[in-house]
Amino acid sequence: MKTSRSETLVGDIWGGTAAMLVALPSAIAFGVTIFAALGSQYGAQGAVAGILGTVAMGLLAPLFGGTNRLISAPCAPAAAVLSAFAIDHMARGGDPRLGLLLLALLGLMAGGLQVLMGALKLGRLIKYMPYPVVSGYLSGVGMIIIASQLPRFLGTPKGTSFWNALASPNLWRWQGMAVGGATIAVMLLAPRVTKKVPAPVLGLAAGILTYLGLGLMDPALLTLAGNSFVVGTLGGGEGSVLDALAARGASLGQLGFGVLRDLLVPALTLAVLLSIDTLKTCVVLDALTRTRHDSNRELMGQGIGNLAAAALGGVPGAGTMGATLVNMSSGAATRLSGMVEGIAALIAFVLLAPLISWVPVASLSGILLVIGVRMINWSSLAFLKSRSTVLDFCVIAAVVACALSVSLIVASGVGVLLAVLLFLREQVHGSVVRRVTSGEVTHSKRVRVHEEMDILAEKGGQFAVAELQGSLFFGTTSQLFHSLEADLKLRRYLILDMRRVQSVDITAAHMLDQIKDMLGERGGMLIFSHIPRSLPSGRDMQHYFDQLGLVRSGHPVKVFGEVDEAVEWAEDHIIAEAALVAPEESPLELAEIELFKGRKKETLTELEGHMEARVVPAGEKIFSVGNQGDELFLIRKGAVRIVLPLADGQVRHLATFGRGSFFGEMAFLDGETRSADAIAFTDVHLFVLSRRNFDGFADSHKKVGLVLMEGLASILAGRLRYTNAELRALEA
């Protein structure tokens, strides 16, 4: 059922408003966390920065990004990176006002880098970040948030570290713990009661009510001035928002090249984390709504939103999972819902600014503690249960350790490096030789006479078909040689089926060149089949082999388009060496054809009178699929290919019949239409026996007719036996 425009508009308004209720409390908490690191007097300014970031991201990111239903707002990765930067700045004796300016510049640089990444089409690359790396740094961000918020939750003095706060119960302030505890309890329990009102809103309301209740017992808690339990007057130590922007401008004179250079790594870290957070949310949204977002456009939209947020003094952000899911479940359908979220945040700021001053800091810490705990990927602990996933857990643990001890950008780099090493390890341990089949049990589609099949059963072991797969590179070269070493000592012809090969580097190509030389020294031949024209990397493997001289003419190497052609070539050489193929200077006589050997000359002469001798030039069709016909064709000279036409104009090669063989037996036996095309591969000399003529002959020679049908059945049974043996070999 198609939704009307009015219904879509209503859904977007409700969805955007509900998303704002989820995003705004968290944004305020993130802002207070970041700015309070510069000094407690800046906490209120941080609350304003969180709101401004929500407004700017909400209005501009949907407008330029274009992903339907996506909600953008300040997020945990931004809080982790910016608060760590602010703490480091103050630890080095930095000026708080300069710190405000540097935070804004960080946001501007991160937004600019996101726009650049989108313009350079890097959106897809960021989506391919390995899962253990993403899981590790998100868990690391969650732990960083917990470490920064627990001292605030406990009410310890500013500057108290996580471990000191835990080890110093005498510094704890029970009022803040009561407020934070009430917030956490309601956030966790609220979804069990109702999902109509977002849990963060209910948790924040519970924290405020708890604080007001404590204020009735202690009137000092109800004063705004100098009260460290609440956010405080908006604007903090800088007066109005405009005064705060002016203070940032006044600090421009303290900037230098060294300061800007030091911002580059944190800005790159912030840009990458915000981009991954956004695209991760977009991927989940695509899966839920069966849509497809434009990664590069979304990066540019997010970058523009972050540029605006930083220019206003707000906290940068990303597409957030929680608010986006609330938006979608509330009926939103288009990107207008994201803009509604920004407008709703602006209205809330204008109408509720006085109330925001009374928001308890411990309540905001409680919200962030819940967010931090939820960001940790606890399910990754299950990786320890299986030996196959233990190393993936080690990657996650290494990323978390680097995130906590060094930096998030170093953690991401370490994680990617470890993921690459795990990939290489997987490639090295995976077999690049899928199967090796001896020529004694695998056969071409060339239908051969009984004597030829006997010699192939005896001497077919002179060749083998090795099916290669995966990546042939320096890490698998040794494995490739050891897997083929035994066959190199036994076979004269080694056929390498390359159809499943994904990549080949120069080390593997050099090894193939050595294998070619080893076979050549014994008079053998290395044969390639199905060399891919286009690998996933875009490389033309056959052209690459030509450049390296691997398939150079005059060398003991041959190249075929299909495995069957290669196997047929090897079989022909083995049979020719056994002198089983007589020179085809003249067509076979009827008595020389396998089906009629041992029959009386007089009988065959009479039978030949019922046949038609026919010559078909190379390339011409003998019959086509769907044709009516009941003739049995006996090949006196030449070869015939049976092919099945496909819908796309291509054909599938089913079989090849040579001198002494017959074809067309199915229609001869059952009288149905032809099931494939028969094409003369070379100039072909045929005996053609129609079923009508055969029945006329059999009426007067019943015994001969019966013997001929038995011979026909015997040869068909023999072909079936060889096919069954080949299938068993392939299944082994």
Residue 582 lies in a domain: no
Residue 697 lies in a domain: yes
pLDDT of 684 > 90? The answer is yes
Residue 16 lies in a domain: yes
Do 566 and 700 sit in the same domain of this protein?
no
To the nearest 10 degrees (0 to 180), the angle between helices 295-311 and 257-289 is 130
Residue that wins the pLDDT comparison between 209 and 43: 209
What lies within 8 Å, CB to CB, of 460 at 6+ separation is: 438, 439, 440, 441, 442, 443, 571, 574
Give the domain CATH number at 691. 2.60.120.10
DSSP state of 326: H
Q: What is the rounded average pLDDT for all residues in the chain?
A: 83
Confidence (pLDDT) at 237: 46
Burial class of residue 468, CB neighbours in 10 A (0-12, 13-18, 19+): buried
Confidence class for position 633, pLDDT limits 50, 70, 90: very high
Confidence (pLDDT) at 115: 96
Mean pLDDT of 13-29: 85
pLDDT in tens, 45-76: 888 899 999 999 999 999 999 899 999 999 98
Mean pLDDT of 384-408: 81
Name the least confident of 270-274, 277-281, 624-628.
Answer: 277-281
Residue 44 lies in a domain: yes
Do 555 and 610 sit in the same domain of this protein?
no
Residue 583 lies in a domain: no
Give the pTM. 0.60
Residue 584 lies in a domain: no
Confidence (pLDDT) at 8: 85
Q: What would the 3-class secondary structure string for 20-70 be? A: HHHHHHHHHHHHHHHHHCCCHHHHHHHHHHHHHHHHHHHHHHHHHHCCCCC
Residue that wins the pLDDT comparison between 585 and 659: 659
3-state class (DSSP) for residue 142: helix
Residues 683-704 as b/e (b if ≥16 CB within 10 A, e otherwise) read ebbbbbbbbebbeebbeeeeeb
Mean pLDDT of 690-719: 80
Confidence (pLDDT) at 371: 80
Give the domain CATH number at 507. 3.30.750.24
At 259, the amino acid letter reads: V
Cβ 104 vs Cβ 311: under 8 Å: yes
Confidence (pLDDT) at 239: 44
At 483, the amino acid letter reads: S
Do 175 and 216 sit in the same domain of this protein?
yes
Do 168 and 197 sit in the same domain of this protein?
yes
pLDDT in tens, 247-266: 555 555 556 667 777 888 88
Residue 718 lies in a domain: yes
Residue 585 lies in a domain: no
**Host domain of residue 687:** 590-731
Which of 422, 453, 487 represents a domain boundary (last residue)?
A: 422
Do 470 and 597 sit in the same domain of this protein?
no
Do 408 and 535 sit in the same domain of this protein?
no
pLDDT of 110 > 60? The answer is yes
Do 545 and 405 sit in the same domain of this protein?
no
Which of 554, 577, 600 represents a domain boundary (last residue)?
A: 577
Do 303 and 251 sit in the same domain of this protein?
yes
Which of 368, 395, 422 represents a domain boundary (last residue)?
A: 422
What lies within 8 Å, CB to CB, of 468 at 6+ separation is: 432, 433, 434, 480, 496, 497, 498, 500, 501
pLDDT in tens, 284-315: 788 778 788 899 999 999 999 999 999 998 99
pLDDT of 236 > 80? The answer is no
Total domains present in the chain: 3
Do 389 and 298 sit in the same domain of this protein?
yes
Do 215 and 275 sit in the same domain of this protein?
yes
Do 347 and 447 sit in the same domain of this protein?
no
Structure-token pair, residue 34: 């970041």
Do 95 and 225 sit in the same domain of this protein?
yes
Cβ 529 vs Cβ 497: under 8 Å: yes
